[in-house]
């Protein structure tokens, strides 16, 4: 039986309660009759032999590029950059796609007699990965070969000696990237394209760039004009990255490798997450009730630890290599083939259950700013065409939103939440008054460089990510969240979904249309 595509269910009398993610737990909610639930497509059948597919892609590049083997020669300087721990979500079962691809690339490099090879985790302004995370992403073999010899680097956007300025785009955007990458004879970038935003020119132009470069597209104006940033042809974020990427490509040979995964997001014991509620079998029901009962009795930190140790049984659906733009166009086709779900018309109220994870809290805690970003930045933007929710509509998020932060990973978030959001939640105001001081703060820079902290400016980006949604929406309501934290975000807290829907009526009027985004697994709504 071939996998079924995504699906929009209309809730009727016989519809069982709908599963909402709620952080490290779940809620079963009865949606009003007539509500719609958007389900993700079932996982596509993966490539039967991923290693062969990778080898094939390396030898049959797309666009204006020679095969990888032809680009390698003795005495050359080779740099392999790879996506960091923010992809995929959750982390996938070993072997990670990056490990497979990088091993294939290294095999060819060894065969070609290349001995100056450096691996760089393309952190941009993310936190440094831990050894365990690197070992998982790269596989033990690669890690053990490179790390002890100091050849496994993590991008340091604040090391003036390790960065180089390549110039400015026609729009005056400064382009500064990793010196090692820029001075290499070949840069291979290994992507996991979990969502449509990832990859393309953004890989290098953002992943290996400096704050002074990134600030040209990571800002409120750009984000408000990225509709959405999951739709690269309508995304100002990507347009800027493309300008920069083309400038980089003028002086640096890049061999882009992009990979797509299917939607097999959760292992068997969480099978109910992959299935639709009315199709839950005995096993799914038993699993759900067991998990719920266990989670209700588990302290939040332990539940978090359990969830973050979940490894996704993702499987490779495509791999393409070669010239950046040609590769990326095909990647998008593969992505949309897996994730696109057609939806008829917009809705007054959009509900979503937020899971325990977002790109920036892997092995960490989802703090309130990340809650906002996951809901209003990521999930809200999972659309092509028009947003799922109409202009002036309401988004209802379900998440416990604890007033809690990871002291090592998110130090500037703590201060941002306590000092910036206490003053204003308006993204433009936030940007104008506070960004510079956080971005240049020597203590945050120190923590970014030497510890495992996100850059001082990172919480600002999370807030800018929400800018389009904040601009578009009439109200945001959080169900079951810490009231103080939710208010600090500028949202409204509600105890139950029923209360939240009542509150939403004050904004959008009586008997609103309601749509629930049943994700993850991920999908992209193509709204007509």
Partner 1 sequence: MISSLLAGRRIAVTGATGFLGTALVERLVRAVPDCEIVVLVRPGRRTGAAERTAREIIRNDCFDRLRNELGDAFEGTIARRLVTIAGDVGTDGLGLSEADGAILASCDVVVHSAATVSFDAPLDGAVEVNLLGPSRVATTLLELAARHRPPGAPLPHLVAVSTAYVQSGRHGDAPEQPVADDRFFSLPDWRGEVAAARRARSEADGQSREPDRLAAFAKAARQELGAAGRSLLAERTERLRTDWVSDRMVELGRARAQALGWPDAYAYTKSLGEVALSQNRGPLPTTIVRPSIVESALAEPRPGWIRGFRMAEPVIISYARGLLRQFPGVPEGVVDVIPVDLVTAALIAVAAHPSTGTPDAPPPIFQVASSVRNPLRYGKLVRLCEEWFNERPLYDQRGEPIAVATWQFPGRGKVQGELRRAAKVLGLIERLASSLPVRGERAEQIVEIEERKALAERALGYVELYGSYTETEARFSIDRSLAFFSSLDPADQAEFCFDPGVVDWERYVTEIHLPSVVRHARVRTSPGKRVSGTREERARRAILSKEPHVAVFDLEQTIVNSNVVESYAWLATRHLEPLRRAQLTLSLMLEGPRLLAVDRRDRGDFLRSFYRRYEDAPVERVREDAWELFSDLLLTRSFPGAIQRVRAHRALGHHTLLITGALDFVVAPLTPLFDEIVCARLGEHDGRFTGEMVSTPPTGEARATLMEQWAARHGLGLSSTVAYADSTSDLPMLEAAGMPVAVNPEPKLAAIARRRGWPVERWARTAGGPRNLLAVATRRLGPRTTLAPKLTSPQEHR
Chain residues 142-161 in contact with partner 1, contact rule CB under 8 A: 144, 147-148, 150, 152-154, 156, 159
Q: Is 414 in the site for partner 1 (CB under 8 A)?
A: yes
Chain residues 327-366 in contact with partner 1, contact rule CB under 8 A: 365
Residue among 452, 458, 468, 472 that touches partner 1 (CB under 8 A): 452
Decide if 379 contacts 519 (C-beta within 8 A).
yes
Phi–psi pair at 313, nearest 5 degrees:
-85, 40
Structure tokens at 247: 């400038």
Residue among 418, 423, 436, 502 that touches partner 1 (CB under 8 A): 418
Q: Is 423 in the site for partner 1 (CB under 8 A)?
A: no
> Considering Cα of 167, then 169, then 173, then 175, what sign does the dihedral take?
negative
Interface mask (CB under 8 A) for partner 1, residues 300-329, using x and -? -x----------------------------
Decide if 44 contacts 3 (C-beta within 8 A).
yes
Phi–psi pair at 472, nearest 5 degrees:
-85, -35
Q: CB-wise, 269 or 305, nearer to partner 1?
A: 305
Nearest distance from residue 443's CB to partner 1, in Å? 6
Q: CB-wise, 121 or 194, nearer to partner 1?
A: 121
Q: What number of helices (H) and strands (E) belong to the chain? A: 20, 20
3-state secondary structure 432-468: HHHHHHHHCCHHHHHHHHHCCCCCCCHHHHHHHHCHH
Interface mask (CB under 8 A) for partner 1, residues 18-57, using x and -? ----------------------------------------
Residue among 10, 59, 115, 132 that touches partner 1 (CB under 8 A): 132
Q: CB-wise, 107 or 144, nearer to partner 1?
A: 144
Residue among 16, 345, 433, 443 that touches partner 1 (CB under 8 A): 443
DSSP letter assigned to residue 366: -
Residue among 309, 450, 496, 528 that touches partner 1 (CB under 8 A): 450
Q: CB-wise, 451 or 528, nearer to partner 1?
A: 451
What's the CA angle centered on 517, arms 8 and 222, to 5 degrees? 120
Interface mask (CB under 8 A) for partner 1, residues 382-411, using x and -? --------------------xxxxxxx--x
Q: CB-wise, 19 or 208, nearer to partner 1?
A: 208
Q: CB-wise, 265 or 401, nearer to partner 1?
A: 401
Spell out a b/e string for 270-290, using b for 16 or more CB atoms within 10 Å of the CB, else e: bebbbbbbeebeeebeebbee
Q: CB-wise, 156 or 277, nearer to partner 1?
A: 156
Closest CA to 117 of 72, 67, 61: 72
Whether a cis peptide bond, with omega within 30° of 0, leads into 111 is: no
Structure tokens at 125: 């302004």
Nearest distance from residue 270's CB to partner 1, in Å? 23
For residue 21, the cross-strand partners are: 26
Decide if 395 contacts 484 (C-beta within 8 A).
no
Binding site for partner 1 (CB under 8 A): 121, 128-129, 131-132, 134, 144, 147-148, 150, 152-154, 156, 159, 301, 365, 367, 402-408, 411, 414-415, 418, 442-443, 446-447, 449-452
């Amino acid at each position: 039986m071939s996998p079924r595509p995504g699906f929009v269910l209309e809730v009727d009398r016989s519809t069982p309660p709908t599963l909402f993610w709620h952080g490290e737990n779940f809620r079963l909610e009865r949606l009003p009759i007539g509500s719609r639930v958007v389900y993700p497509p079932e996982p596509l059948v993966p490539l039967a032999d991923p290693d062969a597919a990778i080898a094939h892609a390396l030898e049959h590049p797309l666009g204006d590029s020679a095969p990888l083997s032809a680009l390698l020669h003795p005495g050359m300087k080779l740099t392999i950059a790879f996506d960091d721990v923010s992809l995929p979500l959750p982390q996938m079962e070993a072997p990670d796609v990056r490990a497979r691809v990088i091993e294939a690339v290294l095999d060819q490099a060894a065969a070609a007699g290349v001995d100056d090879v450096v691996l760089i985790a393309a952190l941009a302004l993310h936190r440094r990965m831990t050894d365990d995370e690197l070992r998982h992403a790269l596989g033990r073999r690669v890690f053990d070969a490179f790390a002890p010899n100091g050849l496994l680097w993590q991008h340091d956007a604040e090391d003036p000696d390790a960065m180089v300025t390549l110039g400015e785009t026609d729009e005056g955007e400064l382009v500064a990237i990793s010196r090692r990458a820029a001075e290499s004879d070949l840069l291979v970038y290994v992507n996991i394209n979990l969502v449509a935003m990832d990859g393309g020119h953004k890989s290098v132009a953002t992943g290996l760039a400096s704050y002074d470069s990134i600030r040209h597209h990571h800002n409120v104006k750009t984000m408000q004009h990225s509709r959405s940033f999951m739709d690269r042809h309508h995304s100002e974020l990507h347009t800027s990255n493309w300008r920069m990427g083309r400038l980089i490509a003028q002086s640096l040979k890049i061999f882009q490798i992009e990979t797509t995964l299917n939607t097999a997001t959760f292992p068997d014991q969480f099978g109910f997450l992959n299935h639709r509620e009315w199709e839950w079998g005995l096993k799914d029901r038993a699993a759900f009730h067991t998990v719920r009962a266990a989670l209700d009795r588990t302290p939040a930190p332990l539940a978090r630890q359990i969830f973050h140790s979940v490894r996704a049984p993702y499987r490779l659906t495509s791999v393409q290599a070669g010239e950046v733009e040609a590769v990326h166009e095909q990647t998008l086709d593969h992505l949309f083939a897996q994730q696109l779900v057609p939806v008829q018309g917009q809705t007054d109220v959009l509900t979503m259950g937020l899971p325990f994870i977002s790109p920036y809290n892997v092995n960490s805690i989802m703090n309130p700013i990340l809650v906002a970003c996951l809901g209003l930045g990521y999930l809200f933007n999972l659309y092509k065409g028009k947003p799922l929710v109409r202009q002036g509509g309401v988004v209802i998020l379900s998440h416990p939103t604890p007033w809690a932060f990871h002291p090592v990973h998110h130090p500037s978030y703590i201060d941002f939440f306590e000092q910036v959001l206490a003053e204003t939640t308006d993204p433009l105001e936030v940007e104008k008054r506070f960004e510079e001081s956080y971005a240049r703060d020597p203590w945050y820079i120190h923590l970014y460089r030497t510890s495992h902290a996100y850059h001082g400016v990172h919480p600002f980006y999370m807030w800018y990510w929400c800018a389009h949604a904040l601009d578009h929406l009439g109200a945001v309501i959080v169900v079951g969240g810490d009231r103080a934290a939710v208010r600090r975000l500028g949202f409204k807290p509600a105890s139950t979904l029923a209360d939240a829907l009542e509150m939403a009526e004050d904004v959008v009027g009586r008997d609103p249309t309601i749509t629930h985004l049943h994700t993850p697994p991920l999908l992209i709504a193509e709204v007509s």
